[in-house]
Amino acid sequence: MKVTDHLRNANGKTLFSIEILPPLKGKGMTDIYKAIDPLIEFKPSFIDVTYHREEYVYKKRNDGLLEKKSVRKRPGTVGICAGIMTKYNVDAVPHIICGGFSKDETENALIDLSFLGIDNVLLLRGDSIKSEGSFKPEPNGNAYALDLVEQVVNMNRGVYLDDELEDVSSTNFCIGIAGYPEKHFEAPNLKTDLKYLKAKVDAGADYIVTQMFYDNSKYFEFVDLCRENGINVPIIPGIKIMTTKKQLNILPSVFHIDIPDALAEAVEKAKTSDQVKEIGVEWAIQQCKELVAAKVPCLHFYTMGNPDTCKRVAEKVL
Ligand code: FAD
């Protein structure tokens, strides 16, 4: 079932969903089950699976020279989605990114998803790889998530890259996209970022999932601004429970978000890692209670390999 159908059928009740990461290469599906099993009792409406593009490493050859090699540390998004749908009978949402793919490769991946009965996708640009200063699309690849939305919408209309195909079937993808309450880090300002967000929605995106935030007022202001700017699709808040002291610096530097003073001070003062987890869980509970009271469409948890803290929050708010 499509994410938008889940939201419609909820009749105003706040749904629960999670995002998981594919395991590191060499690990099996057991790691995925360990990430999902503790949360299945809360009946997630859908489970997102992230996509991780290649990285470049230098390996020493026998002749002593260095060889540049492309490695993918977390492959398997499509297979994991099919596995989740079979084992749990829960809709899976694979993340599809522009980076590292030509439009042809993307089309082929979308055809595979369609054959597997996966009709949800979250469409993203992806970030630059470490060796690049800024994001660079592949030759004949999509440069922005907007281009990817247009490609999927075309396929939903039966328009493939090869316009000589005859008697084609249309795909039937429900399209999610990303939104940033605290602005995407490359955008000169929030107004410009919203202009491009609206372009994705006008092109056919069905709903937005936000970047994580720790101050609900950022989300509420973002939703108001979206509505004022004619963005009327559901906006699902993304929640990440803080679990370590290091995240006080890592989360702002990786995700370009602010940590409110009160949370930062409390985590700073914590003496043990268990105390940090307590603070993170309590903060998320308060955040989620306020979001549920505001009737947000769904609470979407970035579990990042930590289902137990997510379970503790879910127990208190769902
Ligand atoms: P876009 O919408 O393309 O925007 C990128 C930047 O370009 C923005 O600053 C925007 O304002 C600007 N822009 C957009 N369109 C145009 C245009 N036409 N002309 C000029 N400027 C434009 N990354 C992964 O690699 N894998 C994942 O699985 C993944 N999952 C994510 C899930 C969520 C919910 C979120 C919020 C992010 C996720 N990301 C993931 C990270 C994401 O790929 C990065 O944040 C990336 O830098 C931007 O992606 P986007 O889809 O928002 O890009």
Instruction: Quick: pLDDT tens for 128-176.
Output: 988 888 999 999 999 999 999 999 999 999 999 998 999 999 999 999 9
Centre of ligand 1 to C-alpha 144, Å, is 7
Centre of ligand 1 to C-alpha 106, Å, is 16
- Domain coordinates in residue numbering, the chain: 3-240
Q: How far apart are CA 145 and CA 128, in angstroms?
A: 14
User: What is the pLDDT at residue 130?
Assistant: 82
Residue 260 tokens, joined:
């409110």
Q: How far apart are CA 125 and CA 94, in angstroms?
A: 14
Q: How far apart are CA 15 and CA 234, in angstroms?
A: 12
Q: Is 202 in the pocket of ligand 1 (CB under 6 A)?
A: no
Q: Is 178 in the pocket of ligand 1 (CB under 6 A)?
A: yes
For residue 127, the ligand 1 atom closest to its alpha carbon is: 47
Q: Is 96 in the pocket of ligand 1 (CB under 6 A)?
A: no
Percent of the residues in the chain that have a pLDDT greater than 90, as a whole number: 92
pLDDT at 55 over 90: no
Residue 279 tokens, joined:
């603070």
pLDDT at 68 over 90: no
Architecture of domain 3-240: Alpha-Beta Barrel (3.20)
What is the mean predicted confidence (pLDDT) over 27-52?
97
Centre of ligand 1 to C-alpha 126, Å, is 6
Read off the amino acid at residue 189: N
Testing ligand 1's pocket by substitution, the residue of 125, 190, 300 carrying the most ligand atoms inside 8 A of its CB is 125
What is the mean predicted confidence (pLDDT) over 269-276?
98
User: What is the pLDDT at residue 13?
Assistant: 97
Q: Is 98 in the pocket of ligand 1 (CB under 6 A)?
A: no
